[in-house]
Amino acid sequence: MLSYCTQLYVPILDKSHYILFVINADAGNIQILDSNPYQEIDTVGIERHKALRMLSGSETEWAPTLMSRLSSALHEVRPNIGIPNFEKWDIELAENIPTMKNLSNDCGFYVMRYMQFYDPKRAVMTRNIQQVCPLTTLIFKSTMLIFKLFYKLL
């Protein structure tokens, strides 16, 4: 039973780009944490996530449909899950979060750091990951390569 749970972190892979949806029961909304530097690429992030796409044969807003389906599935599988139905909650793009360098392809590492250091109650990062990420991702990538090459998976 997740009756004590007030946030769900849902990492999503969208066309080779990782983003994080935070379902925030305290605020009654869904926050999208996206590491793309939209101000640099002249795109409005929330418009990208609410853009119309073909899903199951019909054109629909992508993020709202995704969250609606996730809410329905969770409540169908676990009717007494203890999380409110979030099908119709507002979806907003989190502001003032660290973003990656354009075309750096570090979005997965940012999502891991968002999950570790984002406080959805205050909508802030609890640690400055902008300074940590470039070196951390290099070290992490090197460590992952070493594990893939020299260690057996359990």
* Alpha helix stretches (DSSP H) within the chain: 45-49, 62-77, 107-117, 133-150
* pLDDT attached to residue 44: 61
Which amino acid, residue 100? M
Both tokens of residue 67? 């969250």
* 97 pLDDT above the threshold of 50: yes
Please enumerate in sequence order all residues whose Cβ is within 8 A of that of 35, keeping only pairs 6 or more positions apart, or say none.
18, 19, 97, 98, 99, 100, 106, 107, 110, 111, 114
pLDDT digits (tens, 9 = 90+) for 57-89: 888 888 888 899 999 998 899 887 777 889 889
What DSSP character marks residue 151?
-
According to DSSP, the β-strands at 7-14 and 17-24 are: antiparallel
* pLDDT attached to residue 38: 72
pLDDT digits (tens, 9 = 90+) for 104-148: 778 888 888 889 888 888 888 887 765 545 556 677 777 777 777
* pLDDT attached to residue 21: 95
Question: 21 to each of 101, 135, 143, 144, 148, how far by Cα in Å?
Answer: 21, 25, 27, 25, 29
- What is the model's pTM? 0.78
Q: Where are the domains of the chain?
A: 7-150
